[in-house]
Structure 1
Amino acid sequence: MELFELQAKIADLEQQIAELPAGSVTKKTINGNMYFYHRWTENKKRREKYIPAEEVDSFQKQVERRKALEKELKVLQKQLPKKSVSAVSAHTFATNIRTGEALRTFSASVRKYRKRECFRQLHDYIYGEQQDKVFILYGLRRTGKTTMIRQIFVEMSDAELSKAAFIQITARDTLADVNRDLKTLEEQGFRYVFLDEVTLMEDFIEGAALFSDVFATCGMKIVLSGTDSLGFLFTEDEQLYDRCILLHTTLIPYREFESVLGIHGIDEYIRYGGTMSLGGVHYNETSTFASKKSADEYVDTAIARNIQHSLRCYQYEGHFRHLRDLYERNELTSAINRVVEDINHRFTLEVLTQDWKSHDLGISASNLRRDRENPTDILDRVDLVAVTDSLRKLLEIRNKAEQTLALDDIHAAEIKEYLDLLDLTREIDVLHLPDVSRKSSRTVIAQPGLRYAQADALIRSLLLDETFSALSLPERTAVQERILTEIRGRMLEDIVLLETKLANPKKQVFVLQFSVGEFDMVVFDPVAGSCQSFEIKHSTEIASQQYRHLIDEEKCAQTEHRYGPITGKFVLYRGESQVVEGIQYRNVEEYLRSLA
């Protein structure tokens, strides 16, 4: 194997290993029942986490896969000539540093990758004027951080690359180690230093000013990256206040999902969107959110671990607040997962019960009756009260056997604060007319694939209820698809609301509810004193019923009295853009691409 191929293979293996769980799977017998746990060592302490029985096989395979890859990595590393480890003598450094030709190899596989829109900010920092600031590249796992750094190396000339270093931080490293290595690099004329997963250092948050005050001010361009988003936010608030540039990668809008990954279609984004993972032609099967198991694993490793690591390292663990007891009993990961699931369960319940109560299920029933290929009156025969009760009961499912501390509203509220800080959740205002004093909101999960995977699993559980037990397979399939269509419709609304809000920071974006009916979205421009109203439909067909609220004279009069003239009335849907009876029908994918 050529040296170039060998180094590329090693870099690929290291990345795969980092995404798999370390440690082992163990089992315990409690009151005659068998329970399984993930056991691993972290910061010289043994950690354990409960694994649901249905996930044990999958988890065990991941552990075994990691061990196999580690063996393969050791074999390949032995084939490396000593001089190829680094352009600088490896023994002079305390941390794992790549320089010179090793960086060309490290970046080779991303040469043809398309760039995220936020790449320009990183590029401008590296090649711009000296600012005496460090650049912080942070976000949840699999959102493109390390890829962006490797893309910078691809663009560097030989002269620039000779002055660049990439430091892969581990939990064993300390700020003292990094400080010594940076001084050595500085003495040898290095100008560009990238530190990946820098928050793994236990003392990073308390001592991060070192990077700006000592090295950035002396002319080094320092890029700090990692998945510990909360840790970076804590750091920016204290040690690096006014001495850093923050770039958050977590939110991946539809236009980037389509342009960077080359995957087209809003339904693909609804089902799998939220990370930059790409599995080629098998993308659907290998997506981070291809199943509830993979979605839950992502919450555990990318979100829960993120929050706990930050709280453990910040102010000597003084920021846990009411979550300390959960953390000390190894139940905080489970609690965070339950809060995320509750947000999605409430979303699912709201979609279904509101639809059924407001006769939209009658629309679903009508659609099924008129279906050209498989007409059915199944929804006319379903006991909706029983179905709703069944769904409510499902929301109370908890792993009671493993809980020693109840999860109350205070715990949930504090966890929700951290989810907001991670940009995983956002609130969309719901305003009311004519009662302007009423105001509520709905929580949007910024990674749609995560929400869909959990909602889909909930619906599958619902269809196992007695209410459906007597139905034929075609009937059960029809009901499931109809309900999931309703879920996709509401998710489409949330996606449009969130992306419109982010693209229009000086405007007010909200849902406007009336005594009867609503505008799915209103965009109010306080400077111009005008607004636009929208209906958002997960449909490829046009029907007058879709825009009945937009042409309702009373609703329009109330809206204009409060928010000024309505300068545009739109229906966003999945069909062709056109004008119908004065209403602008616009393809929703075209609309989302246009947002910047």
Structure 2
Amino acid sequence: MEQDKLIDEITELERQIAILPEGSITKKKIKNKEYYYHRTVQNGKRVENYIRYDEVPELEAQIARRRELQKKLKERKKLLVPVTDEKKKTAEEFHFRTMVRYGKQLRAQIALTRNYKKRECIRSLRDYILGETQEKVFILYGLRRTGKTTMIRQILAELPPELFKKAAFIQVTSRDTLADVDEDLRELEKNGFRYVFLDEVTLMEDFVEGAAIFSDIYASSGMKIVLSGTDSLGFAFSKEEQLYDRCIMLHTTFIPYREFETVLGIAGIDEYIRYGGTMSLGGVNYNENAPFANSKNAGEYIDTAIAKNIQHSLKMYEYGGHFRQLLDLYEKRELTNVINRVVEDINHRFTRSVVERTFRSHDISVTAANLLRDRENPINVKEHLDIDKVTMGIMKMLDLLNKEEQSVDIEECHMVQIKEYLTLLDLIMEIELESLPEVEKKASITVLTQPGMRYAQADAIVENMLLDAKFQELSIKERQHILERLLSEIRGRMMEDIVLLETKIAKPDQKVFKLQFAVGEFDMVVFDPKTLTCKIYEVKYSKERVKNQYRHLVDEQKCQMTSHRYGEIEGRYVIYRGEHAEMDGIEYLNVEEYLKSL
């Protein structure tokens, strides 16, 4: 194995080990009752903390995983080319409490990232590191697998030699304290280091309460301090308290289609719908497993990257005083499950609305007619299914599936508060839904910024739905045909949401929304309040161009109401999967090209 790849693998193993708990689990019998304790060694002393019985399996698995990775790390280190005596001597000049890398060791660690494509948001980090001193810290935060650590390594690789020798990287672990990090920063500052990157700082229990030390002491004296980690909510709390007006924030969670294609090297809206949301899909430029490959993987990601992220932040902030209505759930050990359920519920409602729209009386008739007209595999759905009963049955079935998955009742106050935190995590965004002529009628749709998560769960819901006895009356080919039709509808609706979301984010000075009429709707309207003009769009999951697609865009009454409310209509567009074209004055835009142009 090449030394660069070996060092990169060793670094990643050390990073994974740092996040996992160490120690062992012991069992004691007191008055004929069994109690479990997590045993660790801190500062040479044995420490035992009580753990609940239901927490034992997960902790046991994490400790076992840590030992497994430690064994693998030991084997990999044996393959390393031995360091020279000169390098050993240099390393011994410093006495660090935490895992600090600099010099040749750090250069070897970042070597592989030179070949990686860079995310666009790296510009902000580059400006901070290479720009003038601002007496502020830079916070790089976001959910797991969104490129934070890679970005740090890429910036380190860009530094010229005279600056690189003043740079250090600290890998924080859960056993480190703010006092440990403070001691090491003092040592680094004393020896001329000016660029310090701290990864996973929110693992420290006292980070949120003492984060001001980074800006008030070190950044104010001229050091460039970059803090990164997955605990997004913890950083959000720090910004409002300890680091108020003393930090620059860069959130990595949202990955637009443009970056998905250019950084990962994977093109196509379908691929983005299925896997978008992380930088982990194996492709031309990266090669890791996809966290949204199936509903199980998506569920694990929600549980570890989102639910426990929120719970950890709330636990550490104000000594747990910020739980508000969620305190009861936390004390019952149900909060992680409920957060998971809220995300699932958002996805479930989305799937339900798509299925309901697909199987609405007139829509299912169209579906049935389309299946019957299929030249290769004509299916007469109506022979097997009573359409009205099927529609009602599907809705009941979806509600039943939702209730079966829901082990804990979710109250409205829980839903509202958790959605607030999901918004802070950049996981969800509300898109306005306006109506004409009833201008006072307001609503919104919830869009997930990680499409792969939504698709994985929607796919699983539809698969379960088709296991119903009535659908089993159809042949396997017929069931597959209906499944593909439903998944196509889901992809189409998701494509609409992606276009709305990315347009809204790309045009903060304009109003982006969906516009409904008594009959029909514009999938997207972009209103410019400065010029008092607007553009209207239809979004179609199709590669073909037909007049029916833009019937609403040429409806005189709809256009008249729209121009009266939002100003002159500057353009009418259909965004679809085909090539750029024009038809009857309507401009057809390719969806991938449109998203890349934002």
TM-score, normalised with respect to structure 1? 0.90
User: What code does the residue aligned with 1:120 have?
Assistant: R
| Shift in Å, 1:313 | 0.9
Structure-2 change in CA distance of 1:282 and 1:192 (3 Å): closer
Name the structure 1 match of 2:68.
Answer: 68
Structure-2 change in CA distance of 1:368 and 1:59 (3 Å): farther
Name the structure 1 match of 2:493.
Answer: 490
CA distance in 1, matches of 2:430, 2:452: 18
Name the structure 2 match of 1:390.
Answer: 397
- What RMSD over aligned residues (CA atoms) do the two structures have, in Å? 2.9
Structure-2 change in CA distance of 1:289 and 1:250 (3 Å): same
Structure-2 change in CA distance of 1:22 and 1:207 (3 Å): closer
Cα deviations by residue, 1:62-86 (Å, 9 ceiling, x for unpaired): 9866543321112334666576689
Name the structure 1 match of 2:31.
Answer: none
User: What code does the residue aligned with 2:468 have?
Assistant: D
| Shift in Å, 1:408 | 1.3
Name the structure 2 match of 1:450.
Answer: 453
Cα deviations by residue, 1:23-76 (Å, 9 ceiling, x for unpaired): 9999xxxxxxxxxxx99889975667979xxxx9x9999986654332111233
Pick from 213, 218, 222 the counterpart of residue 215 of structure 1: 218
| Shift in Å, 1:234 | 0.6
Structure-2 change in CA distance of 1:582 and 1:4 (3 Å): closer
Cα deviations by residue, 1:216-270 (Å, 9 ceiling, x for unpaired): 1111000000011111111011111111100000000000000100000000000
| Shift in Å, 1:124 | 0.9
CA distance in 1, matches of 2:491, 2:136: 43
| Shift in Å, 1:389 | 1.9
Percent of residue pairs identical: 58
Greater shift in the superposed pair: 357-366 or 541-550:
357-366
Cα deviations by residue, 1:319-348 (Å, 9 ceiling, x for unpaired): 001111211222111101000000000011
User: What code does the residue aligned with 2:455 have?
Assistant: Y
CA distance in 1, matches of 2:173, 2:332: 26
The number of equivalent residue pairs is: 575
User: What code does the residue aligned with 1:390 have?
Assistant: M
Alignment check: 8 A CA contact 2:117 2:285 kept: no
CA distance in 2, matches of 1:313, 1:551: 56
Alignment check: 8 A CA contact 1:136 1:224 kept: yes
Name the structure 1 match of 2:114.
Answer: 111
Greater shift in the superposed pair: 349-358 or 566-575:
349-358
Structure-2 change in CA distance of 1:3 and 1:341 (3 Å): closer
Structure-2 change in CA distance of 1:456 and 1:264 (3 Å): same
Name the structure 1 match of 2:410.
Answer: 407
Helix, strand or coil at the partner of 1:97: strand
Alignment check: 8 A CA contact 1:139 1:145 kept: yes
> Does residue 526 in structure 1 map to residue 529 in structure 2?
yes
Greater shift in the superposed pair: 432-441 or 174-183:
174-183
- 1:34-53 mapped onto 2 (5 Å cutoff): 45=49
CA distance in 1, matches of 2:562, 2:406: 47
Name the structure 2 match of 1:588.
Answer: 591
User: What code does the residue aligned with 1:7 have?
Assistant: I
Structure-2 change in CA distance of 1:125 and 1:71 (3 Å): same
Helix, strand or coil at the partner of 2:403: coil
Name the structure 1 match of 2:169.
Answer: 166
Greater shift in the superposed pair: 74-83 or 169-178:
74-83
Alignment check: 8 A CA contact 1:142 1:275 kept: yes
| Structure 1 unmatched ranges of 5 or more | 27-37
- 1:195-594 mapped onto 2 (5 Å cutoff): 195-280=198-283, 286-357=289-360, 359-378=362-381, 381-382=384-385, 383-398=390-405, 400=407, 406-594=409-597
| Shift in Å, 1:543 | 1.2
CA distance in 1, matches of 2:338, 2:39: 21
Alignment check: 8 A CA contact 1:519 1:549 kept: yes
CA distance in 2, matches of 1:594, 1:5: 35
Alignment check: 8 A CA contact 1:97 1:168 kept: yes
Name the structure 1 match of 2:13.
Answer: 13
Greater shift in the superposed pair: 119-128 or 85-94:
85-94
Structure-2 change in CA distance of 1:193 and 1:87 (3 Å): farther
Structure-2 change in CA distance of 1:230 and 1:61 (3 Å): closer
CA distance in 1, matches of 2:513, 2:297: 32
- 1:114-129 mapped onto 2 (5 Å cutoff): 114-129=117-132
| Structure 2 unmatched ranges of 5 or more | 27-35, 41-46
Alignment check: 8 A CA contact 2:18 2:173 kept: no
Helix, strand or coil at the partner of 1:330: coil
CA distance in 2, matches of 1:219, 1:396: 56
